[in-house]
Amino acid sequence: MKLRRWLASGALALVMALGCLVGSASFRAEEVSILMPSSFTDASAELVKTFNREHRGRIHLNLIRGPLNTESISDLAISSLLLGDAPFDALLMDVTWLPKYAAAGWLEPLDPWFDQADQEQLVEGARLGNDYDGHLYRWPLVADVGLLYWRTDLMKEPPKTPDELMSVAGQLVQTNAVANGFVWQGRQYEGLSCDFLEVLQGFGGDWMDTTTNTMQLDTPEATRAAAWLNDLISAGVSPYAVTNYAESESLQAFKSGDAALMRNWPYAWAELQKDDSNVKGNVGISLMVAQPGERPGATLGSWGLSLMRQSPHQEAAVEAIRYLTNEASQRTRFLNNGYSPTQANLFSDPEMLKSSPVLPELEVALNHAVVRPPTPLYAQLSDVVQRELNGLFTETGSADEAMATSQQRSQTLLRAAGATP
């Protein structure tokens, strides 16, 4: 009886494990597994069924449903790879992971399968963040960039410069038109780094010179960018609560009608058009503000598929990658789930435009995409900046001190890793 119960519990555990895979098992076809965050596996479930039907008896695709949180799925993937027996042939990767994974030797270059003609079909921003050390290691699944959302019922056009934003948003707060002028992501996490990169670009600065591996965080441009973010809070243009805001808190404040401007990602557009949105029909999108003469920036936040070097099914895995990223799949994923396409021609597609008339503005933002420092040490460098900026917002101190400390600690990290000349 005990043996029977043990076998039954073991079978149940196996069934539960297999239940994490999207798609039923096929013993005749070549099995290919791809690890993705849960939101992407859910959005791709019907595409997987179609792929398996079209490739019956030859390739059977399974999507492993990973955690939703970006850091959690990266930790899961790295743990499997360090053990040397990762149960997936490909991985859906955030743009910031690529240098670390490629430098570790975990990825197989995609150059034999994707050529220049493939690259030229992509919108400009989707071409960034896919290469490392001269090789293509990632093919984009969705294109994501930071956007400035603005209330069309409160202003005729969005602010273009930092001074304009401060003035317009401040006046709306002072006249009680809104409770908050501008909401963004000020919490100590990666979202703050993304916001800072856009503002830094708009002030004419750079985070890091990757050709020399030197930081540029104590420059006048970087200091002015940090000071401007801090001034937003001290002047009451942004609420102090923004120091603990991530994307969801910013979205809720804007969606409820409490804010005039918001920095967020493309996914927010669909949320703002829902019936429970107090700003439905009164929202436009634009680029983050920039100083006169400087180029506005939009932080690239895309996800792309990478092939594992240890995969015994590389040809089949690449066929699955091509299918999941082809034009038809992008159209389906956009129309059903709101994920931004990567192929340039889809931004002028009539059916797509009918669903989302802001696609042209999104394409403009993608053409202004800026990439976070492409270094295997990015996660540690970002943590330094997040800590110093959030500390500037919530404690006493100056932007000069915060950025000088960011520079010094970042250079120390690079030296310790042997990444400086």
Last residue of a domain, one of 335, 351, 370: 370
349, two tokens: 């597609």
Shared domain for 260 and 394, answered yes or no, is yes
Q: What is the C-alpha end-to-end distance of the chain, expressed in Å? A: 68
Could you report the per-residue pLDDT of 286-330, keeping only the tens digit for each? 999 999 999 999 999 999 999 999 999 999 999 999 999 999 999
More confident position, 25 or 40: 40
Q: Can you give the pLDDT at residue 3?
A: 33
Q: How many domains does the chain have?
A: 2
Query: In a 3-state reduction of DSSP, which class is residue 96?
Result: coil
208, two tokens: 């890091």
Q: What value does the mean pLDDT take over residues 220-248? A: 97
Shared domain for 190 and 290, answered yes or no, is yes
What are the distances in angstroms from CA 5 to CA 11, 16, 18, 19, 43? Answer: 10, 16, 20, 21, 37
Percent of the chain topping pLDDT 70: 93
Give residues with Cβ within 8 angstroms of 421, minimum separation 6.
Answer: 212, 213
Q: Can you give the pLDDT at residue 116?
A: 95
Shared domain for 193 and 51, answered yes or no, is no
- Please determine, for residue 68, whether its predicted confidence score (pLDDT) is greater than 70: yes
Please check whether residue 46 lies inside any domain of the structure. Answer: yes
- Please determine, for residue 34, whether its predicted confidence score (pLDDT) is greater than 60: yes
Q: What value does the mean pLDDT take over residues 355-376? A: 94
What are the distances in angstroms from CA 160 to CA 164, 235, 265? Answer: 6, 19, 18
Please check whether residue 9 lies inside any domain of the structure. Answer: no
Please check whether residue 12 lies inside any domain of the structure. Answer: no
Could you report the per-residue pLDDT of 106-119, keeping only the tens digit for each? 999 999 999 999 99
Q: Which helix (H) or strand (E) holds 171?
A: helix 162-174
C-alpha 53: how far from chain center: 31
Q: What value does the mean pLDDT take over residues 346-352? A: 94
Q: Can you give the pLDDT at residue 265?
A: 95
Phi, psi of 61 (to 5 degrees): -95, 130
Please check whether residue 362 lies inside any domain of the structure. Answer: yes
Please check whether residue 4 lies inside any domain of the structure. Answer: no
Shared domain for 289 and 398, answered yes or no, is yes
Cα 111 to Cα 125: distance, rounded to the nearest angstrom: 19
Phi, psi of 384 (to 5 degrees): -60, -50
Q: Can you give the pLDDT at residue 30?
A: 94
Helix axes 399-416, 378-394, angle to 10 degrees: 160
- Please determine, for residue 131, whether its predicted confidence score (pLDDT) is greater than 60: yes
Q: Can you give the pLDDT at residue 233?
A: 98
Q: Which helix (H) or strand (E) holds 37?
A: strand 30-37
Shared domain for 85 and 208, answered yes or no, is no
- Please determine, for residue 40, whether its predicted confidence score (pLDDT) is greater than 70: yes
- Does the reported pTM lie above 0.95? no
Q: What value does the mean pLDDT take over residues 221-232? A: 98
Shared domain for 52 and 153, answered yes or no, is no
Cα 223 to Cα 396: distance, rounded to the nearest angstrom: 16
List the CATH number of the domain containing 307: 3.40.190.10
Shared domain for 127 and 117, answered yes or no, is yes
Q: Can you give the pLDDT at residue 27?
A: 55
Contact 252, 179 (CB under 8 A): no
Weakest mean pLDDT among 144-148, 284-288, 292-296, 394-398: 394-398
Please check whether residue 181 lies inside any domain of the structure. Answer: yes
**Upper half-sphere CA count for residue 181 (Cβ side, 13 Å):** 25
Return the CA Rg of the chain. 23
Could you tell me which residues are beta bridge partners of residue 151? 283
Shared domain for 318 and 221, answered yes or no, is no
Residue with tokens 């900026």: 389
Could you report the per-residue pLDDT of 165-179, keeping only the tens digit for each? 999 999 999 999 999
What is the DSSP code (8-state) at residue 298?
Answer: E
Shared domain for 245 and 263, answered yes or no, is yes
More confident position, 419 or 4: 419
Model confidence at 338, pLDDT cuts 50, 70, 90, reads confident
Q: Which helix (H) or strand (E) holds 317?
A: helix 314-324
Please check whether residue 186 lies inside any domain of the structure. Answer: yes
What is the DSSP code (8-state) at residue 361?
Answer: H
52 lies in which domain range?
Answer: 21-144+301-370
Shared domain for 289 and 202, answered yes or no, is yes
Shared domain for 33 and 51, answered yes or no, is yes
Shared domain for 155 and 281, answered yes or no, is yes
381, two tokens: 């460098």
Percent of the chain topping pLDDT 90: 82
Please check whether residue 93 lies inside any domain of the structure. Answer: yes
What are the distances in angstroms from CA 270 to CA 66, 150, 284, 337? Answer: 24, 14, 12, 9
